[in-house]
């Protein structure tokens, strides 16, 4: 059986912190965080039946606490330097341990609307509509990363790079 990555099982959105909090407390109906040793405890989740974490977090919102990032998908998560996060199902992820992932730098072969195809991957990647300039993209290379049996966009570049793995 193949080992799963540290990103396996995340239900997006993921609320992330650049650094692991000093301490956190998980009770039957609450999750609280203390970012630093001198910081106060901040309530980030108060369990309510049939409510998503996003709604619970907004309801329990502590005006003195903010997450550093909100990642809506794996691509966003890969490109951010997040050490600790909580996903939409209130599962906590410690992402400090680096792992090696297979990676490639490939040429963009086709662009249609907000979809982009690359060499060696049979499915397209979806792009934000505001960054799609077809002529510009067709001259670019892209680094893709293989995480949990799927390729994800990592970064664009104007030149070919020799990459076979990344440590994330």
- At 2 the pLDDT is 66
Q: Is the pTM of this model over 0.95?
A: no
* Res 1 pLDDT > 60: no
Boundary (domain end) residue, out of 46, 66, 94:
94
On whether both 21 and 75 belong to a single domain, the answer is yes
On whether both 73 and 142 belong to a single domain, the answer is no
On whether both 104 and 133 belong to a single domain, the answer is yes
- At 16 the pLDDT is 95
On whether both 37 and 69 belong to a single domain, the answer is yes
* Res 8 pLDDT > 90: yes
On whether both 124 and 154 belong to a single domain, the answer is yes
* Res 64 pLDDT > 60: yes
90: confidence class by pLDDT, cuts 50, 70, 90: confident
On whether both 155 and 130 belong to a single domain, the answer is yes
Q: Which long-range contacts (CB under 8 A, 24 or more apart) does 26-34 make?
A: 26/92, 30/60, 31/86, 31/90, 31/92, 33/65
Boundary (domain end) residue, out of 58, 75, 94:
94
Q: Is residue 5 part of a domain?
A: no
- At 60 the pLDDT is 66
User: Which domain, by its residues, includes 121?
Assistant: 100-167
* Res 36 pLDDT > 60: yes
Domain count, the chain: 2
């Amino acid at each position: 059986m193949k080992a799963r990555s540290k990103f396996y099982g995340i239900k997006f959105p993921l609320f992330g912190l650049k650094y692991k909090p000093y301490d956190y407390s998980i009770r039957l109906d609450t999750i609280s965080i203390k970012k630093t040793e001198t910081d106060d405890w901040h309530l980030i989740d108060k369990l309510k039946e049939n409510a998503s974490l996003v709604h619970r977090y907004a309801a329990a919102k502590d005006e003195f606490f903010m997450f550093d990032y909100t990642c809506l998908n794996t691509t966003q998560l890969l490109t951010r330097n997040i050490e600790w996060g909580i996903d939409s199902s209130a599962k906590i992820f410690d992402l400090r341990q680096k792992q090696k992932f297979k990676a490639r730098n490939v040429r963009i072969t086709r662009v249609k609307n907000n979809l982009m195809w690359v060499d060696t991957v049979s499915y397209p990647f979806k792009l934000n509509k505001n960054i799609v300039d077809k002529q510009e993209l067709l001259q670019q290379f892209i680094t893709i990363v293989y995480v949990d049996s799927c390729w994800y966009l990592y970064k664009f570049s104007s030149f070919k790079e020799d990459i076979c793995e990344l440590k994330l």
